Amino acid sequence: MEISIILLILAIIAIVKGVRIVPQGEEWVVERLGKFAGIISPGLHVINPILSRVSYKVTTKDIILDIPQQEVITRDNAVILANAVAFMKVSNIERAVYGIENFREAMRNMVQTNLRSIIGGMDLNHALTSRDRIKAELKQAIADEALDWGLTVKSVEIQDIKPSSNMQDAMERQAAAERERVAVVTEAEGAKQSLILNAEARLEGARKDAEAQLVAANASAEAIKLIAQAVKENDTSATFLLGDRYIQSLQKLAESHNSKLVLIPGDVVGAVKNLIGGK
């Protein structure tokens, strides 16, 4: 009776330890006497509870691996902060559990190292505006190594990449200085254009004045020419014209406040004839 109870208890323990139910989305690694024996997929399985045991439980779902933020120095010695997230899947369970001590930690360190290397080969401006390039190079850099560990890298995304606080302050000061420089240049350019336009206006005014003086001179010459022609033909008209001008001039002299004494010739007609050479 006692033996039967003991055998029943051993049978129950064997059943409890030997029956394994693997949930969906996982695969378990079974070792027999410390050596890899096989992989059991989701469902009900019975293993030898004495010689075999489940050593690892590996997820077959996509793994989201968060890469913590780190400081990276660019090629032009600027400090920026960058972090990422990697999406991967275990494609070979045996390699994933026996090829590396901790594949999650190994992948995290590898992504961080390659991210520093890629950004370190770029200038600050390129690093801040080249997320797609960084992502593509990063995935290519880690894909082969991950495959040796039984992992497939599906994608790598750059979550954030920004200058450090000190770099942000320096960039803001640089931007303010650049805006001030542009304002000064714009003001100087405006003053220069104003001077040019004023000079062009003065030049145009001088040109117009010269043209007006030339027109006036030509008109005066033409008038003198006509008067001279008239004098040759009839000195009476010239005598009348000059006499009229002579009298008007004497009137102006008489009206002037500065004039105290005005001398008028006794023979005005004779004086006029003498001016034009008449007899």
Q: Summarize pLDDT for 90-103 with one digit per residue, the tens.
A: 999 999 999 888 89
Same domain, 183 and 242: no
Residues 74 and 148 in one domain: yes
Of 59, 77, 94, at which residue does a domain stop?
A: 59
Instruction: Enter the tokens of residue 21.
Output: 């139910």
Amino acid at 212: A
Q: Answer whether 276's CB lies under 8 Å from 231's CB.
A: yes
Q: How many Cβ atoms from other residues are within 10 Å of residue 235's Cβ?
A: 16
| The last residue of a domain, from among 163, 198, 218 | 163
CA 199 → CA 107, 186, 216, distances in Å? Answer: 72, 20, 25
pLDDT at position 193 = 86
Same domain, 100 and 146: yes
Q: How far is CA 63 from the centre of its chain?
A: 36
pLDDT of res. 126? 87
Q: How confident is the model at residue 236 (pLDDT cuts 50, 70, 90)?
A: low
Same domain, yes or no: 158 and 94? yes
For residues 259 and 189, state if they share a domain: no
Dist. CA 174–CA 168, nearest whole Å: 10
Tokens in use for 261?
Answer: 């004494």
Same domain, yes or no: 144 and 176: no
Domain that holds residue 18: 2-59
107 vs 88: CA distance, rounded Å: 9
Domain CATH number, residue 129: 3.30.479.30
Shared domain check, 239 and 229: no
**Residues 50, 71 share a domain:** no
DSSP of 99-157: SSS-HHHHHHHHHHHHHHHHHHTS-HHHHHH-HHHHHHHHHHHHHHHHHHTTEEEEEEE
Q: Are residues 89 and 159 in the same domain?
A: yes
How many structural domains is the chain composed of?
Answer: 4
Domain stops at, among 163, 179, 201: 163
Considering the domain architecture, whether residues 240 and 158 belong to the same structural domain is answered as: no
- Of the pLDDT bands very low, low, confident and very high (cuts 50, 70, 90), residue 86 is very high
The answer to whether residues 24 and 42 belong to one domain is: yes
Q: Are residues 69 and 159 in the same domain?
A: yes
What end-to-end distance do the CA atoms of the chain give, in Å? 183
With the C-alpha atoms ordered 221, 225, 226, 228, is the resulting torsion angle positive or negative? positive
15-59 confidence digits (pLDDT tens): 777 788 889 988 999 988 888 888 999 988 888 888 888 888 999
Closest to 85 in 3D by CA, of 148, 154, 133: 154
Token representation of residue 174? 């640089």
Compute φ and ψ for 75, nearest 5 degrees: -65, -30
Report percent pLDDT > 90 for the chain.
Answer: 17
